A and B are shown apart, each in its own frame.
Chain A
Amino acid sequence: MPSFSHFFQILTETKGVFLKAMLLTLELTAVSILLGIVIGLVFALLKISKVKVLEVISDAYVYLVRGTPLIVQIFILYFGISGIFLLPDFWAASLALALHNGAYISEILRGSIQSVDNGQLEAGRSLGMTKVLTLRRIILPQAFRRALPPLGNQFIISLKDSSLAAFISMNELFNVATTLGSNNFDEMTYLLIVAVYYLLLVALLTFVVNRFEQKLAVSDR
């Protein structure tokens, strides 16, 4: 184990390069979460559409994505698709992450949409609101609130999963840590440093999700 003073010395010295890597990790995570929510919502709605074909499409998507490792999906987008058209590293990684997240998020959202009492839909419809309008104004806001705790989980997972982008040579946190660690024959110090950065990011993400939850909980008070 490295000594404390050594750890802090390296931590300070590498601040610049790690902050840059952290920015990339944040970008990958942000894209994968935002795009993942959109994808997840689309497939959740397909799943509850009561149109058989759309349900099957949604099921197939969730099965394929959940049934294969994320690293395989990243490699397929990076190597496979580049045979047809070239996907920049960043987009290969963040698209794979988004598609991956989307499957899990779609299941989270489907569950929370279905947990909203059917009376809410009937109330909206009885007031002359269309199905789409009721979904948008009445059902989804309630569903999204219920989905927040599991979504928070998923966001944290996707933050850490972004480390797999290292394997298509993106200089995000994990890649920088392992590269510097082996170059300096000091792997443990750099792994501990990168762990600190991840812990910081997770704390930040948790804080944001909690704040959001509190904001939406206003109707309980």
Chain B
Amino acid sequence: MKLSDEMLMAYADGEVDDVLRAQIEAAIALDPQLAAAVEQHRRLRMQLRHAFDDTLHEPIPDRLLAALGTTGTSGEPASNVIDLAGAASARHRAGWHWGLREWGALAATFVIGVSLGFALLPRSSDIVATGQGELLARGVLATALSNQLAGTQHGDEPVQIGLSFTTHAGDICRTFAVRGEHLAGMACRATDGWRVDLLTAAEVDSAAATTYRQASSSLPAVVLALVDQQIVGAPFDAAAEAHARQSGWKR
């Protein structure tokens, strides 16, 4: 039989079955060129691993441990800060010039969310509650997220729903604006309710959010930036939105 280079590669990687392996080994024994080809595949693997050996032995930066929540957030002020997962490290990130420049939209999202949005919130809010390091929607916000459809809302509800969409992680998320509170944000369906990933200050145009285009144009830029970051495909149309509600917003 003729052995392709891809077969030799698979052999060198230990990805062939016993039968093919026996055939290849028999062929190699007779053909030094084949043996050399296999040897080259193996050598390349070793070269590649060696080239990145150093990476394995470098000290792990604190910020990566902090991202895991394994180091304390000492020095972080406790007042006016709701313990949103990642908020502390995101603020840290915003302190680096690279982070702010390259991850501008995302970092700004968290910065504004933390420094402005949460500072505006009373400790125990009518629309959000803290739980397990997350911010969960409650009250009228939770009700609207679960039940309200952007296509059929009147514009005078206390909460206006904007865009609904699926994220890379497979979650279903919705943007919203809360009238009276002058807050807007994005929440994603989690097992224990609606996880609020972003909450920020916003002016709510009572006439807005009645169409998808208007819904997106009336949202704060930071909310749109986060949507842009996480969305897969297009936002739900009316039919998809209704279907998602029927399915309990599960993926």
Partners in one complex: no
Seen from chain B, the residues whose Cβ lies within 8 Å of a Cβ on chain A are none
Residues of A within 8 A of B (CB): none
